[in-house]
Chain A
Amino acid sequence: MQVYLDNAATTQMDKAVAHIMQTYSLEKFANPSSIHYLGEEVYNDVEKAKAKVAKILNAAPQDLIFTGSASEANNFIIKGVARANKDKGKHIIVSEIEHPCVLGPAKELVQEGFKVTYAPVDKNGRIKITELKKMISDDTVLVSIITANNEIGTIQDIKKIAKLVKKSGAFFHTDAVQVVPYLKIDVKDLGVDFLTLSAHKFHGPKGVGMAYINRSVKIKALISGGEQNHGLRAGTIDVAGIIGFSKALDLAYRNRDKKIEKVKKLRDYFLEEINKNIKDVHLNGHDKLRLENNLNLRFNGVEGEAILMDLSNQGICVSTGSACSAKNLRTSYVLQALRIDPKYLNSNVRFTLSKNTTKAELDYTVKKLKETVKRLRSFSPIK
């Protein structure tokens, strides 16, 4: 049985998305920058697709810049805003639990003379807002806080944080890559200046990210050399990608409540069954303010990657933010930010569901997980 419980890493593309992308690869393949009839037709279709995305996010189509990934979008925003607003200040705040594609550009900016401070989180992964408030100064130009972290799924009060940041005069960005469809995104209501999305996290294609930008804020292009995207992102428009992004986002938000309820019910059932069958399991992250599809669990006495490999051998795909799975062998900095006892940092497994997850898959997983943990604990020196 194949069971895919790694939907925070990526999701299975919806058939309807694949079909429409095929049309824009095989038939309507013209370059939208071309002015002949076929180019014009494709251009108009891309504009329609963008308008659909803009409507869902309560933004204007010209506020959306499509990129080659969310990593690119985050790089573009963090570096682009900082570099274009040096006169305003040279201080940036990011949370301790940002995705590496926010932390990376922030570190790069340090080389350019910027100061970066890291907003701490509490034991559940929630931003300590009073601490954040203290960090903001007249020199602060940009604050970036992830809407919901990819490892633990803890949801932040973005509206409140955005308000606080904006009041200080700094700009605010949020990486919302993990939240579709679990949270509604209304950029006006949230009060953010910048927001990032990624199509492959909501059953769309890989290789398509999106940056929502407040166009009244100066921003420097990351990729120059073409007039596409108002000169903010050069490169031939990824027609199939944008069409696929738009289709996937539209589908994701259809019957949203029903989908979320289904996923939440399954997730809660899954946790209940795990607790019924396996002793000494602990939940990482917030028990309520977390994405409905996320479970990050600690299995005392066993190593996370061993569980992953054992399950993988039986057709089950999960993930571990822990030491061994990563190339650099470092333990998860996200779990470290929760100030978890270091001896527990290597015993964690992340399970992320999607609308396609079934009860039968979870029952099978519980059964295999029980056997795996029992086996590994049987020869663990940690009692």
Chain B
Amino acid sequence: MALNYTKKTLNHFLKPKNIGEIKNADAYAEIGNMVCGDQLNFSIRVQKGKIKDVKFLSFGCASNIATASIMTEKVKGMSLEEAKNYDWNKIVADLGGLPQQKVHCSIMAVEGLKKVIDNYEDKKDVKKDSKKELKKVMKKKSTKVSTKKSAKKKK
């Protein structure tokens, strides 16, 4: 069945932007796998809460490559919060449309982006938390638990 990729999709497939892997990136993420037929690997560099750089590797079809290419182009410079909520419909619109059976590629691209940002934030959280803070958190958690327990007892 004819796919009728738009010129823009083909251009992004043939000359993808932001391909590769950032060395010593702030975070990495992998989504999909060879068995399901598509895989994207993202790496990001973050500065002042914004995406300074983002790159991707792809094992996938033309639209897998094109969607990741155009998305990375658009989210560069965006705040993490904004990028995390990037709408896959925007990718489809930016490409001038995607064949119905290929729309899932754009969803995979935004999910991969979200995953790499999540990985970054998780890493950051761990770094931030000094031992003391960690202890505090632990304490809080344990107090919470004990309050719950006492609450139960009260009942």
Contacts and interface: CB of A to CB of B under 8 A. Distances in A.
Nearest to A320: B61
A329 interface: yes
B43 to A, nearest CB: 11
B58 A379 contact: yes
A281 to B, nearest CB: 16
Contact of A329 (B20, B37, B56, B58): B37
B65 interface: yes
Contact of A302 (B30, B41, B59): B59
Given A331-B37, A343-B35, A313 B59 contact: no
Contact of B39 (A322, A342, A381): A381
B10 interface: yes
B39 A382 contact: yes
A381 B58 contact: yes
Nearest to A314: B14
B19 A379 contact: yes
Interface string A298-313: 0001110110011001
B35 A306 contact: no
9 closest residue pairs by CB, A with B: A324-B61, A323-B37, A305-B61, A381-B57, A343-B34, A309-B62, A379-B19, A346-B37, A381-B41
Nearest to B100: A327
A322 B58 contact: no
A345 interface: yes
Interface of B is mostly: mixed
B61 A380 contact: no
A344 B13 CA distance: 22
A31 B108 CA distance: 56
B37 A303 contact: yes
A337 to B, nearest CB: 17
Interface in A316-367: 322-324, 326-329, 331, 342-347
Q: Which bracket fits the contact residues of B? A: 20 to 34
| Residue with the greatest number of chain B CB neighbours at <10 A, chosen from A302, A313, A379 | A379
Contacts, number: 76
B10 to A, nearest CB: 7
A322 B16 CA distance: 23
B59 A309 contact: no
Contacts of B63: 324
Nearest to B102: A324
Interface string B5-18: 10000100110100
Given A327-B101, A343-B35, A381-B30, A306 B41 contact: no
B61 A306 contact: yes
Contacts of A302: 59
24 contacts: A303-B37, A303-B60, A303-B61, A305-B61, A306-B60, A306-B65, A309-B5, A309-B13, A313-B14, A324-B102, A327-B101, A329-B37, A329-B104, A343-B34, A343-B35, A344-B34, A345-B35, A345-B37, A346-B35, A379-B58, A380-B57, A380-B58, A381-B40, A382-B59
Contacts of B14: 310, 313
Contacts of B56: 379
A303 B1 contact: no
Contacts of B20: 379
Interface residues of A, number: 27
Nearest to A327: B1
B73 interface: no
Given A324-B37, A327-B1, A381-B39, A303 B13 contact: no
A382 B5 contact: no
A109 to B, nearest CB: 27
B38 interface: yes
Contacts of B38: 303, 324
A303 B62 CA distance: 9
B1 A301 contact: no
Nearest to A383: B57
B37 A322 contact: yes
Nearest to A323: B37
A309 B61 contact: yes
Contacts of A324: 37-38, 60-61, 63, 102
Contacts of A303: 37-38, 59-61, 64
A139 B39 CA distance: 47
Nearest to B13: A309
Contacts of A328: 101
Interface in B96-126: 101-102, 104
